[in-house]
C-alpha cells in the first residue's frame, strides 16, 4: 500500500476535490505503461487493487500473491515518478468524477445531508468541504492545476510504502531500494493550516430533500485522533450508539420506535473533527422529538457516567472489532499505513487494545461533559419534499 499525506483538507477554495481527482489520475498511465496497462498488469497477476481519498490522506492498495511483489513495486514506483497527464485522460476522468459525485451526493439524500453537516460545522478548516469536491470546482480541473498539485504534494517525505505478508524483510528492502532508490529526497513542505475557530453556539439548518421521512444529523466537535480523548469519546459513542446494545440506539430504534436506523461515528481525523450522530426517522416521526431524546441520553451520560457493566461491554466490542480488522493481510497493512500517515508511528494490536481497556467510567463521564455540548454542535434536519 502507498499512503500519501494529502487529502481534501489540503485543498484551497476553488480547487476542492483535487486530491480525490488526482487519485483517479494515478491510474491513467505512464510513458512505460500506457493508459490501461497499469490495470491490465495488476489484473493479470490476480491483484485486488484500488484507491481511496479522505480528508487527511490518499491511499493506494494492492493485495496479491507474495511472489508478485517485485512486479507490483515496479508498477507502483513508476507511476509515482512518471505519471503521464494527457488532456484526453483528464477530460474523460473528469466526466467519471462528475458521475461519481452525482451518484454519491447529488442524487443521494444521505450523501447530501452529510455534505451539509460538514459545511455547517467547519467554516474555515478544510474539513468543511467534501472530499469529492464541489461540482463547479470539478468542472474546472485542468492539466496545469493537476501537475502543480502533484509537484506540491506527491513527494517522498509525504508518502509511506507499506508491505505486509509472508516476505523476507531484507530482500523486500532491497527490492524497494531498487525501484524507489532513484527518487530524490525533497524538503517536506508544511501542510496548509486553517484552524477552525472555536464554536460557541449551536448551528442548525433545516432543509427539504426527496426523502421518505425526516432525518437528523448532529455533529459534535470532537478531538483529533492523536489525542487520548479520542479513544475515550469513541467508547462514549459506542455506549450510546454502538450497535443494538447501545443505550440510545435501543431507545430510538427498538423501544420508542422513533427511528428506522441510527448510527454514531467518530471521525478518525488528524485534526479536531466530529462525533456524528445520524438518524433516519420512521415515517411520521419528527426529528425534533428525537433530538430531545438524544439530548437527554447525552445528559445522562455526562451526569452519571456509564455503569461498569455497560463499559465492559463497550470494551469487549472494541476488542472484537480490533481483532477482526487484523485478520487479513490487507487489514494489517491498512492499519500500519494509517498509523504512520496520521499518527506518525505504527501501533501494535496489543497497544491498541490496551488503550481501550484503560478507559474508565470517570473518563467517559468527563468526555461526555466536554464534547456532547449543544453549544459545540451543528444540526441538520432533513424534511421530506411535499409529494
Partner 1 sequence: MSRPVEITTPGGLSLVYEQARALPLTDFVLVWRSGAVADGEHAGATRLLARLLRRGPRGLTPARVDETLSSLGARLSIVTARESVRVYGSVLARNTGAFLSLLGRLLCEPALRAKDLARERRRILGELSEEREDDGTLAERHHRAHMFGTHAYGRPIGGHEKSVRGVRRETLQTLHARHYRKGNLFFGISSPHPSAELVAQLDDAFAGAPSGKRALPRLQSLRHRPGRRVRIVQRSGRNQCQLAVGTLGAAKGDPARTALIVGDYAFGGLFSSPLVQEVRGARGWSYSAQSVLRLGQARESWTFWTHPQADRAAACAALELELMERLVACGPSAEDLQLAKRYLIGSRALDIDTAARRTELALEARYEGKPLDWPHGYEGRIRGVKRKAIQEAFERCIDPAAARITAVGDAKLLAQAFEKLPGVTHVEVVQP
The reply on whether position 309 binds partner 1 by CB under 8 A is yes
Please pick, from the candidates 34, 81, 82, 91, the single residue that binds partner 1 as defined by CB under 8 A.
91
Task: Give the up-direction half-sphere exposure of residue 51: CA atoms within 13 A in the CB hemisphere.
Answer: 20
Which of these ranges, 180-188, 216-224, 266-274, 313-321, lies near partner 1 under the rule CB under 8 A? 313-321
Q: Cβ closer to partner 1: 36 or 292? A: 36
Structure-block grid coordinates of residue 23 = 487519485
Q: Cβ closer to partner 1: 187 or 244? A: 244
Q: Cβ closer to partner 1: 91 or 148? A: 91
Do 265 and 212 form a contact (C-beta atoms < 8 A)? no
The reply on whether position 202 binds partner 1 by CB under 8 A is no
Q: Cβ closer to partner 1: 112 or 155? A: 112
- Torsion sign, CA atoms 112, 117, 120, 124: negative
Please pick, from the candidates 68, 74, 78, 295, the single residue that binds partner 1 as defined by CB under 8 A.
68
Taking the complex as a whole, how short is the minimal distance between the CB of residue 120 and partner 1, in angstroms? 21
Q: Cβ closer to partner 1: 31 or 385? A: 385
The reply on whether position 211 binds partner 1 by CB under 8 A is yes
Whole-number Å distance between alpha carbons of 36 and 33: 8
Site for partner 1 in 316-335 (CB under 8 A): 316-317, 319-320, 323-324, 326-329
- DSSP-derived 3-state class of residue 145: helix
Taking the complex as a whole, how short is the minimal distance between the CB of residue 5 and partner 1, in angstroms? 26
Beta partners for residue 62, in sequence order: 49
Taking the complex as a whole, how short is the minimal distance between the CB of residue 123 and partner 1, in angstroms? 28
Structure-block grid coordinates of residue 146 = 493537476
Among 210, 13, 211, smallest CA distance to 122 is for 13
The reply on whether position 250 binds partner 1 by CB under 8 A is yes
The neighbour count for residue 222, using CB atoms within 10 Å, is: 25
Please pick, from the candidates 20, 129, 313, 377, the single residue that binds partner 1 as defined by CB under 8 A.
313
Please pick, from the candidates 109, 205, 299, 343, the single residue that binds partner 1 as defined by CB under 8 A.
109
SS3 per-residue string spanning 295-351: HHHHHHHHHHCCCHHHHHHHHHHHHHHHHHHCCCHHHHHHHHHHHHHHHCCCCCHHH
H or E segment and range at residue 377: strand 377-384
Whole-number Å distance between alpha carbons of 278 and 264: 6
Binding footprint of partner 1 on the chain (CB under 8 A): 27, 35-36, 39-40, 43-48, 63-65, 68, 91-97, 99-100, 102-103, 106-110, 210-213, 243-245, 250, 253-254, 257, 260-261, 280, 282-283, 309, 312-314, 316-317, 319-320, 323-324, 326-329
Amino acid at each position: 500500500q502507498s499512503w500519501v499525506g494529502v487529502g481534501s483538507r489540503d485543498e484551497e477554495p476553488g480547487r476542492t476535490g483535487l486530491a480525490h481527482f488526482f487519485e483517479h489520475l494515478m491510474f491513467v498511465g505512464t510513458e512505460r505503461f500506457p493508459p490501461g496497462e497499469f490495470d491490465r498488469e495488476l489484473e493479470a497477476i490476480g491483484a485486488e487493487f484500488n484507491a481511496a481519498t479522505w480528508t487527511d490522506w490518499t491511499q493506494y492498495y494492492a493485495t496479491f500473491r507474495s511472489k508478485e511483489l517485485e512486479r507490483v513495486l515496479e508498477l507502483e514506483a513508476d507511476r509515482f515518478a512518471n505519471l503521464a497527464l494527457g488532456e484526453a485522460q483528464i477530460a474523460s476522468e473528469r466526466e467519471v468524477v462528475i458521475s461519481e459525485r452525482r451518484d454519491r451526493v447529488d442524487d443521494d439524500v444521505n450523501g447530501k445531508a452529510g455534505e451539509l453537516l460538514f459545511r455547517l460545522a467547519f467554516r474555515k478548516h478544510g474539513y468543511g468541504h467534501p472530499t469529492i469536491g464541489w461540482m463547479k470546482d470539478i468542472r474546472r480541473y485542468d492539466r496545469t492545476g493537476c501537475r502543480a498539485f502533484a509537484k506540491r504534494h506527491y513527494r517522498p517525505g509525504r508518502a509511506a510504502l507499506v508491505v505486509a505478508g509472508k516476505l523476507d524483510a531484507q530482500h523486500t528492502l532491497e527490492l524497494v531500494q531498487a525501484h524507489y532508490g532513484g527518487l530524490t529526497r525533497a524538503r517536506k513542505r508544511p501542510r496548509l493550516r486553517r484552524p477552525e475557530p472555536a464554536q460557541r453556539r449551536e448551528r442548525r439548518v433545516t432543509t427539504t430533500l426527496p426523502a421518505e421521512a425526516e432525518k437528523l444529523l448532529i455533529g459534535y466537535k470532537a478531538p483529533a485522533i492523536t489525542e487520548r480523548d479520542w479513544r475515550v469519546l469513541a467508547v462514549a459513542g459506542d455506549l450510546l450508539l454502538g450497535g443494538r446494545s447501545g443505550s440510545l440506539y435501543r431507545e430510538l430504534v427498538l423501544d420508542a420506535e422513533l427511528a428506522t436506523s441510527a448510527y454514531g461515528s467518530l471521525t478518525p481525523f488528524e485534526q479536531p473533527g466530529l462525533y456524528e450522530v445520524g438518524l433516519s426517522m420512521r415515517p411520521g416521526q419528527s426529528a425534533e422529538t428525537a433530538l430531545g431524546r438524544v439530548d437527554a441520553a447525552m445528559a445522562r451520560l455526562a451526569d452519571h457516567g456509564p455503569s461498569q457493566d455497560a463499559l465492559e461491554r463497550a470494551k469487549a466490542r472494541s476488542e472484537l472489532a480490533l481483532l477482526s480488522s487484523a485478520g487479513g493481510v490487507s487489514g494489517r497493512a491498512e492499519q500500519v499505513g494509517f498509523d504512520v500517515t496520521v499518527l506518525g508511528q505504527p501501533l501494535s494490536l496489543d497497544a491498541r487494545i490496551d488503550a481501550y481497556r484503560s478507559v474508565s467510567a470517570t473518563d467517559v463521564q468527563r468526555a461526555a461533559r466536554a464534547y456532547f455540548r449543544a453549544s459545540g454542535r451543528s444540526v441538520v434536519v432533513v424534511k421530506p419534499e411535499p409529494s
